[in-house]
């Protein structure tokens, strides 16, 4: 029996370079993931995960570590072969694990044969696969659009005497989605991967797929403050270079392909943006095709850790969704963001995990967060990320959150037998899979328990969300209801102990410290230590096991 996406307990993001190296070259690979599938499911010590997604594994010159694709239908030899990937899907499916792929529609590599042809001459049939423009009459750039990774978004091409557009690196030219042939190519590629058996797609950087066809300048940002740490990208308000009028139509064309294959989904990568209200932005993306697609919710990544801020953003977001139709995808970390523990703190990260797994929808976790992995310290000589190399000093480099997975206490944390592409972090001796599996109060044990609850009880995935204790500055409480079942989630987000009284007492189902849950006092109050959290089942509305217990 295949699991419905609505029943998936969580998605686990694998950064393939850093998960497991099976062939001793210092870089992770698909065989490594296959060796570790029982980490996810199938053995008593498994974490218990229903789905995994891979950051790009396609052929690529690796200018942006795979987000520069040179063949959308093949696997980079560093990671293995298509047969390895087929084998991985087969074995994952045997364990009832769904497999998702990253898909990069906005840009290809400059080594992709399309671009090689496109730049060969102005009249090449593939010229319009990308966006080319002449300089202005005065010889200046076609417009003021900026690249996120620094400098202008335009790169001069000597051979054909025009500029091409690149929102990211110059090695990542933007595909021209105005061209129906490009759209058809991308749809064919989606067919290819769905035929091969992938269960879902994470669609990268989608906001840039549609741009102003008149290529008007982006207006200046009056709020921009210059200074040594200012990111020049903030100089403009990016209203013309992205979120163009055709964006949702193009996404719809992609989701039409998804819909052809039963049980598949597509999740759009998009961050909150000042140009829109969050409501317009989210509902725009949900409006594309809510049967099979939804945006990530990344608001938690930028929200300060306190009860009021979390309550506000989550309650607003839940309030704008139609529960029957819209699947929330709460995400608190990924390969572009400082690690959860490093952002919010060690104890606070446990509270975020409690919150994330008790919220509705489809949570996404980033590899290693289940071990409480921290950002690594990367020396100048070890830098890998092109962003840090191009914009040094802004602290935007993404190497710290991409360090090798911490499996055990051996020299390279069990990730590899040779020096890995990025150094192992200093916490690997304590925060590793072996040590944490046998520690009944570790992050791993906490995640394992929460994932188990999510799998067993539909209330976690599908119950209604309601806030409780609205004005409390320290404790964020929400409840979930599903038919006759009712749970409370009580999150002490302050550094002081807090007494809390629920309308009913009941059984504590989970605690931020699984080995030392708090207890209800005789008067029905609950004392929560600083940054402690509990999930409580109401005694009058107990949870029922579903009839079918899946693997």
Which residues belong to the active site? 204, 269
Question: Which positions touch ligand NOJ (CB under 6 A)?
Answer: 64, 67, 104, 168, 204-205, 269, 335-336
Nearer of residues 64 and 370 to ligand NOJ, judged by Cβ: 64
Nearer of residues 109 and 498 to ligand NOJ, judged by Cβ: 109
Shortest spacing between CB 338 and ligand NOJ, in angstroms = 14
Shortest spacing between CB 168 and ligand NOJ, in angstroms = 5
Q: Which residues contact 342 (CB under 8 A, 6 or more apart)?
A: 374, 375, 400, 401
Nearer of residues 130 and 407 to ligand NOJ, judged by Cβ: 130
Q: By Cβ distance, which residue is nearest to ligand NOJ?
A: 67
CA distance 201 to 193: 9
Q: What is the DSSP string of 329-379?
A: -BB---TTS--HHHHH-HHHHHHHHHHHHHSSS--EEETTGGGT--PPP--
Q: What is the DSSP string of 464-529?
A: EEEEESTT-SSEEEEEEEETTEEEEEEEE-SSS-EEEE-SS-EEEEEESSTTS---B-TTSEEEEP
Nearer of residues 205 and 257 to ligand NOJ, judged by Cβ: 205
Share in percent of the chain as helix, strand, coil (round to 5): 30, 20, 50
> Helices 82-94 and 180-196, interaxial angle, to 10°?
50
Shortest spacing between CB 265 and ligand NOJ, in angstroms = 18
Shortest spacing between CB 35 and ligand NOJ, in angstroms = 25
Shortest spacing between CB 335 and ligand NOJ, in angstroms = 6
Nearer of residues 155 and 445 to ligand NOJ, judged by Cβ: 155
Q: Which residues of 104-117 are buried (b: 16+ CB within 10 A; e: fewer)?
A: bbbbbbbbbebbee
Nearest-5° angle of CA 127, CA 131, CA 133?
Answer: 95
Nearer of residues 168 and 443 to ligand NOJ, judged by Cβ: 168
380, burial (CB in 10 Å: exposed 0-12, middle 13-18, buried 19+): exposed
Shortest spacing between CB 101 and ligand NOJ, in angstroms = 13
């Amino acid at each position: 029996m295949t699991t419905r996406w609505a029943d998936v307990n969580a998605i686990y993001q694998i950064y393939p370079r850093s998960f497991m190296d099976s062939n001793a070259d210092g870089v992770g690979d698909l065989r490594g993931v296959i060796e570790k599938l029982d980490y996810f499911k199938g053995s008593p010590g498994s974490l218990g995960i229903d789905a995994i997604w891979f950051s790009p594994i396609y052929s690529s010159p690796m200018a942006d570590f795979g987000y520069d694709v040179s063949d959308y239908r093949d696997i980079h030899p560093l990671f293995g072969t298509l047969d390895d990937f087929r084998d991985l899907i087969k074995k994952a499916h045997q364990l009832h694990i769904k497999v998702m792929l990253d898909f990069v529609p906005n840009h290809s590599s400059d080594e992709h044969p399309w671009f090689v042809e496109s730049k060969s001459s102005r009249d090449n049939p593939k010229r319009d696969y990308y966006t080319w423009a002449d300089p202005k009459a005065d010889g200046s750039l076609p417009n003021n659009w900026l690249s996120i990774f620094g400098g202008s978004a335009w790169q001069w091409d000597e051979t054909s005497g025009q500029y091409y557009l690149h929102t990211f690196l110059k090695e990542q030219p933007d595909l021209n989605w105005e061209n129906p042939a490009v759209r058809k190519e991308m749809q064919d590629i989606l067919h290819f991967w769905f035929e091969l058996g992938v269960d879902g797609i994470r669609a990268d950087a989608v906001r840039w797929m549609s741009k102003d066809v008149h290529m008007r300048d982006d207006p200046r940002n009056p709020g921009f403050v210059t200074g040594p740490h200012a990111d020049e990208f903030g100089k403009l308000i990016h209203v013309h270079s992205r979120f163009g009028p055709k964006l949702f139509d193009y996404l719809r064309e992609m989701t039409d392909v998804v819909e052809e294959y039963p049980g598949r989904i597509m999740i759009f990568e998009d961050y909150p943006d000042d140009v829109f209200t969050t409501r317009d932005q989210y509902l725009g993306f949900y409006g594309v095709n809510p049967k099979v697609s939804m945006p990530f919710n990344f608001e938690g990544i930028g929200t300060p850790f306190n009860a009021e801020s979390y309550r506000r953003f989550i309650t607003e977001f839940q309030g704008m969704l139609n529960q029957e139709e819209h699947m929330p995808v709460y995400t608190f970390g990924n390969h572009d963001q400082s690690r959860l523990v490093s952002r919010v703190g060690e104890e606070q990260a446990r509270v975020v995990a409690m919150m994330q797994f008790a919220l509705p929808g489809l949570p996404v976790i980033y590899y290693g967060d289940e071990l409480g992995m921290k950002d690594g310290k990367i020396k100048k000589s070890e830098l890998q990320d092109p962003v840090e190399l191009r914009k040094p000093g802004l602290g935007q480099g993404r190497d710290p959150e991409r360090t090798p997975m911490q499996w055990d206490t051996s020299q390279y944390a069990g990730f590899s037998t040779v020096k890995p592409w990025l150094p192992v972090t200093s916490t690997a001796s304590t925060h590793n899979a072996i040590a944490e599996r046998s520690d009944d109060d570790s992050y791993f044990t906490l995640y394992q328990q929460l994932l188990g609850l999510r799998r067993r009880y539909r209330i976690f995935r599908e119950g209604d969300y309601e806030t409780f204790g609205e004005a409390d500055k320290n404790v964020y409480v929400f409840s979930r209801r599903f038919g006759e079942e009712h749970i409370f989630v009580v999150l002490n987000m302050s550094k002081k102990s807090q007494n809390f009284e629920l309308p009913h007492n009941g059984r504590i189902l989970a605690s931020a410290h699984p080995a030392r849950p708090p207890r209800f006092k005789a008067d029905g109050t609950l004392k929560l230590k600083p940054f402690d959290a509990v999930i409580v089942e109401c005694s009058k509305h107990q949870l029922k096991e579903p009839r079918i217990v899946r693997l």
